[in-house]
């Protein structure tokens, strides 16, 4: 195990969204590539918004994606005593101070600064205050003055902030609870995090955190800020662009390997390659190859990848994954054809498991109606003749494979002088109710001869009525 230690640290105020999942993936890949440690930390200090349901949703999403963690999950709410200890140390050594300014006073200072064209930062009123009134207070970090705070971002390159733009950050609120930036520094130092890989919405937090590391005497980790994910309109990806929850993609019928493959390519590249196995991702991943520009989420590309993985998925596993999608439609597979056989007829053409489930229903529910527009392309006498011949020949056939059934239909066409479309299309409608279905031989192999003949005879009665 190397000294590389990374973490994914979501706040449990909602589901695991695709942006967070990509950040988790990049951390996981770096750890696996370099033989390091991947840590899961739940940042639940926002007690009003953090929920157990959100924690469960995050864990469920991580597990579904296969992003297994080596340590954790750790919860910030378990570390309040540690945070208070460090706040007191900073008060004792003068790197922090109590601020007694009221909300009204701070609001006034902010308004005045904006009126005068100054940045609305805290003016340091309580910095050198010696009296300790019996009044509510926050604890502020005594930020160093002058110079700049700079760091070499592994993705964005060198980033520098003038120290004068950084005000005295509140590290403990009036009610005694610690603030986000302070907790993150204590946790990352305590967990010996070597690399902090996170979204670039945290870039402005980084200089403040670097100052805190230095004030506390902790080593400063390396930082890598991943560009955000945009919707098709180039705005930040949100619910209005469609599903953003990882679990929603599972429920819509995407395979975890497809979503992982798609997310890794949102910002990272390895030549012109598009499809990566998990082992290939681990072997090839380099945080330095993550681009500096935002990535656009393309549902069509995800569908293409998902279709690829469905097509190449083991039929037994795919049947297990498909079953809940069929069951959710109130359909039981117990009294119908083997689900693996059904899967094999559909996986070449399906983009999602939801789509596959919808197309699988006719295997378990015989058609109650037919695509009459499609049937109307043939006269009734022809349909009756086709159904009669096919039912008779099929009932007497000893074929037991799709290839054997397809050969039987070719024989019928040759004998009767019919074109394949004149036989195949009416038969497909009889078996499935419509024209969008797998090959006839595949359908008959899955349904079995007896059920197929029964459905063809039912269609013959329908057209004769």
Token duo for residue 373: 């527009």
**Residue 157: which CATH number?**
3.90.800.10
207 inside domain: no
87 inside domain: yes
Same domain for 328 and 293, yes or no, is: no
Cα separation, 263 vs 355, in Å, equals 22
Same domain for 377 and 447, yes or no, is: yes
196 closest CA partner among 216, 160, 224: 224
What is the structure's pLDDT at 190? Answer: 97
Of 321, 339, 364, the position where a domain reaches its end is: 364
396 inside domain: yes
DSSP character at residue 73: E
394 inside domain: yes
pLDDT along the chain (465 residues), means of 10: 91 92 97 97 86 94 98 95 97 96 86 80 89 92 94 97 92 94 97 97 96 97 96 83 86 97 93 92 95 93 97 97 97 94 96 97 95 93 96 95 96 96 96 92 96 97 90
Per the annotation, the verdict on 121 as an active-site residue is no
pTM for this predicted structure? 0.92
**Residue 386: which CATH number?**
1.10.10.350
Same domain for 402 and 327, yes or no, is: no
Same domain for 289 and 240, yes or no, is: yes
Same domain for 61 and 87, yes or no, is: no
Token duo for residue 269: 């590249």
Same domain for 355 and 287, yes or no, is: no
DSSP character at residue 268: B
Of 348, 364, 380, the position where a domain reaches its end is: 364
What is the structure's pLDDT at 212? Answer: 98
Cα separation, 209 vs 205, in Å, equals 6
Beta strand segments in 273-415, E: 295-296
Residue carrying the six token digits 């130092």: 189
Residues 6+ apart with CB under 8 A from 377: 425
End-to-end CA distance of the chain: 75
Same domain for 175 and 113, yes or no, is: yes
Residue among 89, 109, 239, 410 flagged as catalytic: 239
Of 300, 332, 347, the position where a domain reaches its end is: 300
Same domain for 318 and 399, yes or no, is: no
280 inside domain: yes
What is the structure's pLDDT at 22? Answer: 96
219 inside domain: no
Q: How many domains does the chain have?
A: 4
The string over 349-380, giving b where at least 16 C-beta atoms fall within 10 Å of a residue's C-beta and e elsewhere, is ebbbbbbbbbbbbbbbebbeebbeebbeebee
Same domain for 376 and 360, yes or no, is: no
Residue carrying the six token digits 């440690």: 37
**Residue 295: which CATH number?**
3.40.50.620
- Where residue 253 falls (left for φ over 0; alpha for ψ -120 to 50; beta otherwise) is left
Cα separation, 369 vs 394, in Å, equals 22
Residues 6+ apart with CB under 8 A from 10: 16, 20, 24, 42, 43, 58
What is the structure's pLDDT at 121? Answer: 84
What is the structure's pLDDT at 235? Answer: 85
Same domain for 83 and 174, yes or no, is: yes
Beta bridge partners of 6: 38
Which CA distances in Å does 70 have to 31, 37, 40, 304, 309? 10, 6, 8, 32, 27
Q: In terms of residue numbers, what domain contains 18?
A: 5-69+229-300
288 inside domain: yes
274 inside domain: yes
What is the structure's pLDDT at 272? Answer: 84
What is the structure's pLDDT at 1? Answer: 60
Same domain for 408 and 424, yes or no, is: yes
Contact 305, 312 (CB under 8 A): no
Cα 91 from chain centroid (whole Å): 42
Same domain for 92 and 158, yes or no, is: yes
What is the structure's pLDDT at 48? Answer: 78
């Amino acid at each position: 195990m190397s000294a590389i230690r990374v973490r994914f640290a979501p706040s449990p105020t909602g589901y695991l969204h695709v942006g967070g999942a990509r950040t988790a993936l990049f951390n996981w890949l770096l750890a696996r590539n370099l033989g390091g440690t991947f840590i899961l930390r739940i940042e639940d200090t926002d007690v009003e918004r953090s929920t157990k349901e959100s924690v469960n949703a995050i864990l469920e999403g991580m597990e579904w994606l296969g992003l297994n963690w080596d340590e954790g999950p750790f919860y910030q709410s378990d570390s309040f005593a540690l945070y208070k200890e460090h706040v007191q140390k900073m008060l004792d050594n003068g790197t922090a101070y109590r601020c007694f300014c009221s909300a009204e006073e701070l609001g006034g200072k902010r308004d005045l600064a904006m009126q005068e064209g100054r940045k609305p930062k805290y003016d340091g009123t309580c910095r050198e205050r010696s009296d300790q009134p019996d009044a509510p207070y926050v604890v502020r970090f005594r930020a160093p003055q002058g110079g700049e705070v700079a760091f070499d971002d592994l993705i964005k390159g060198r980033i520098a902030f003038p120290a004068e733009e950084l005000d005295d950050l509140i590290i403990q609120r009036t009610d005694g609870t610690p603030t986000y930036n302070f907790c993150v520094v204590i946790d990352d130092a305590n967990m010996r995090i070597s690399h902090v890989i996170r979204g670039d919405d945290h870039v402005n937090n980084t200089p403040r955190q670097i100052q805190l590391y230095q004030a506390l005497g902790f080593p400063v980790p390396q930082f890598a800020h991943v560009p955000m994910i945009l919707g098709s309109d180039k705005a930040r990806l949100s619910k209005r662009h469609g599903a953003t929850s990882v679990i929603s993609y599972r429920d819509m019928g995407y395979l975890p390997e497809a979503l992982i493959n798609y997310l890794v390519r949102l910002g990272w590249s390895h030549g012109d390659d598009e499809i990566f196995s998990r082992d290939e991702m681990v072997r090839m991943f380099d945080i330095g190859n993550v681009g500096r520009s935002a990535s656009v989420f393309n549902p069509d590309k995800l569908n293409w990848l998902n279709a690829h993985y469905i097509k190449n998925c083991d039929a037994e596993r795919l049947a297990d994954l498909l079953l809940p999608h069929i069951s959710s439609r109130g359909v039981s597979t117990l009294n119908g054809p083997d689900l693996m056989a059904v899967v094999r007829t559909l996986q070449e053409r399906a983009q999602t498991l939801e789509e596959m489930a919808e197309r699988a229903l006719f295997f378990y529910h015989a058609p109650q109606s037919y695509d009459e527009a499609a049937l109307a392309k043939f006269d009734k006498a022809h349909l009756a003749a086709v159904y009669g011949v096919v039912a008779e020949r099929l009932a007497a056939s000893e074929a037991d494979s799709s290839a054997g059934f397809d050969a039987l239909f070719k024989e019928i066409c040759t004998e009767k002088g019919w074109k394949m479309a004149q036989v195949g299309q009416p038969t497909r409608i009889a078996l499935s109710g419509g024209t969008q279905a797998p090959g006839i031989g595949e359908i008959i192999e899955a349904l079995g001869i007896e059920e197929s003949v029964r459905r063809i005879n039912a269609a013959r009665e329908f057209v004769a009525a």
